[in-house]
Amino acid sequence: MNKDRPYSALVQRLKAAGLRPTRQRLALAKLLFEPQSGGDRHITAEQLHAEAVAGAVRVSLATVYNSLHQFTGAGLLREVVVEPGRSYFDTNVSDHHHFYFEDGGRLQDIPGEQVHLEGLPTPPEGTRVARIDVIVRLSDGESEAS
Amino acid sequence: MNKDRPYSALVQRLKAAGLRPTRQRLALAKLLFEPQSGGDRHITAEQLHAEAVAGAVRVSLATVYNSLHQFTGAGLLREVVVEPGRSYFDTNVSDHHHFYFEDGGRLQDIPGEQVHLEGLPTPPEGTRVARIDVIVRLSDGESEAS
DNA sequence: ATTCCACATTAGAATTATTCTAAATTATTG
DNA sequence: CAATAATTTAGAATAATTCTAATGTGGAAT
Ligand SMILES: [Mn+2]
Ligand SMILES: [Mn+2]
Ligand SMILES: [Zn+2]
Ligand SMILES: [Zn+2]
């Protein structure tokens, strides 16, 4: 609605996270949190950098890494590891799980409420559960008939 | 019982997997599958290489990587990814899950039977579930009182 | 508006885990 | 014992990520 201040919501979001709303962070936040094609995103640093460059945003890869980690620290993103040597950053920070398509290397959300995990042992003394990740790895091919 | 042929069981295991029982593979298999301190192992390539070297086994890091991947391909090991840039190889190839201690970077098995996962959506057409990983990430600190 | 400085960005080098290459070695077969 | 194919290996190469140290900038204070 505000064509005059198209970034004001994002500016607030960054400020609230204690991050200065710089040109680079703002542009990256826009790509991450306001995608043209709605919905949540699962993206690597390299991919985001490529998008930025394609969108005529001047930003270094180092800054993309910095920003992704800062956003993650601030709870705006979540880091998901499915393969050695590749980190995905997830704009969906709610409790949820993932399908991982092993061929294409794509992630797809599984809403957290609909999954129930039972029978997990109590965590050892002196530790607490920081997070539970469920990753359903999918490969090509029809599933077996029952 | 067989002091004469202490490796015969491992030799069979490798042969059955279509892998020549070379000195290197045998020594690595022994470290992996016959640990002094019983129980399953979660180990990185670097760690296994260090153990081998410490045990006066001459083997290159490249061969450790090769062997770990060959063992994994043969179903003798399973690869577990919990952190970007670090692969653990798991001697427990049964269906099971993991506690991950974020501070020390250690993995601990959670038996598969005792955990029940319900409400997972059906995998998309043309795909099948290759594996389901549940990783319970633990950090230091007492858990909240209820 | 100008100054100031803590915070932010950046190019490029460095690091880390892993893979590749091509030559030397070894296990098995005949 | 060859002969052959599989295996090992040192070292180079790659890929993702982090680090360094120099430069730039947002925004508070004047
Ligand atoms: Mn990270
Ligand atoms: Mn691998
Ligand atoms: Zn997600
Ligand atoms: Zn395990």
Residue A26: closest CA among A5, A40, A1? A5
Same domain, A106 and A80: no
* A contact residues 80-119, partner B, Cβ 8 Å cutoff: 81-87, 99, 101-102, 110, 114-119
Same domain, A32 and A81: yes
Q: Looking at the domain assignment, is residue B111 inside a domain?
A: yes
Same domain, A31 and A83: yes
Same domain, B49 and B111: no
A132 pLDDT exceeds 50? yes
Return positions of chain C under 7 A from a protein CB: 7-12, 16-21, 26-28
Same domain, A20 and A84: yes
Domain boundary among B78, B93, B108: B93
- Alpha carbon B138 to chain centroid, angstroms: 20
Same domain, B114 and B98: yes
Q: Looking at the domain assignment, is residue A138 inside a domain?
A: yes
DSSP codes joined into one string, B85-106: TEEEEES--SSEEEEEETTTTE
Which 3 state secondary structure label does DSSP give B71?
A: helix
State the CB neighbour count (10 A cutoff) for residue B67: 26
The pLDDT assigned to A81 comes to: 94
* Residue bearing tokens 């491992």: B10
Query: Gap from B6 CA to D6 C1', in Å?
Result: 24
Interface test with B, best of A120, A142, A144 (most B CBs within 10 A): A120
Same domain, B142 and B110: yes
Instruction: Convert the pLDDT of each residue in A44-77 to its tens digit.
Output: 999 999 999 999 999 999 999 999 999 999 999 9
Q: Looking at the domain assignment, is residue A98 inside a domain?
A: yes
The pLDDT assigned to B1 comes to: 45
Q: Looking at the domain assignment, is residue B2 inside a domain?
A: no
- A81 beta partners: A87
Give the confidence band of B66 by pLDDT, cuts at 50, 70, 90.
Answer: very high
Same domain, A110 and A87: no
Question: B141 and chain A: CB distance < 8 Å anywhere?
Answer: yes
Please give the interface size between A and B, counted as residue pairs whose CB atoms are below 8 Å apart: 126
Give the confidence band of A119 by pLDDT, cuts at 50, 70, 90.
Answer: very high
- With CB atoms and an 8 Å threshold, state whether B143 touches A135: no
Cβ contacts of B145 within 8 Å, gap of 6 or more: none
Give the confidence band of B8 by pLDDT, cuts at 50, 70, 90.
Answer: confident
The pLDDT assigned to B2 comes to: 41
- Please give the average per-residue pLDDT across B44-51, as a whole number: 96
Q: Looking at the domain assignment, is residue A2 inside a domain?
A: no
Same domain, A121 and A81: no
B40, B92 in Cβ contact below 8 A?
yes
The pLDDT assigned to B141 comes to: 83
Same domain, A85 and A132: no
- Please give the average per-residue pLDDT across A11-30, as a whole number: 96
Evaluate if the CB of A79 falls below 7 Å from strand D: no
Q: What share of chain B is helix, strand, coil (3-state, %, to 5)?
A: 30, 30, 40
- Please give the average per-residue pLDDT across B50-65, as a whole number: 97
Total domain count for chain A? Answer: 2
The pLDDT assigned to A84 comes to: 87
Determine the Cα–Cα distance for residues B10 and B24; give it in Å rounded to an integer. 12
Lowest mean pLDDT across A1-10, A31-40, A119-128, B79-88: A1-10
Strands in chain A per DSSP E:
42-43, 78-83, 86-90, 96-101, 106-111, 116-118, 127-140
Same domain, B11 and B79: yes
- Please give the average per-residue pLDDT across B111-132, as a whole number: 94
Evaluate if the CB of B23 falls below 7 Å from strand C: yes
B137, B100 in Cβ contact below 8 A?
yes
For the stretch A75-109, what's the b/e string if a residue is b when 16 or more beta carbons lie within 10 angstroms of its beta carbon?
A: ebbbebbbeeeebbbbbbeeebbbbbbeeeeebee
Q: Looking at the domain assignment, is residue A1 inside a domain?
A: no
Q: Rounded mean pLDDT of chain A?
A: 91
Query: Gap from B23 CA to D4 C1', in Å?
Result: 20
A1 pLDDT exceeds 80? no
Question: Which of the pair, B146 or B23, is modelled with greater confidence?
Answer: B23
Same domain, B99 and B69: no
Query: Gap from A83 CA to D15 C1', in Å?
Result: 13
- Domain containing residue B78: CATH number: 1.10.10.10
Greatest Cα pair distance, chain B, in angstroms, is 59
- Please give the average per-residue pLDDT across A18-34, as a whole number: 96
**Closest CA in chain A for residue B101:** A127
Residue A119 structural domain: 94-146
What are the C-alpha distances in Å from B105 to residues A3, A83, B78? 48, 17, 17
- Please give the average per-residue pLDDT across B69-88, as a whole number: 95
Q: Looking at the domain assignment, is residue B125 inside a domain?
A: yes
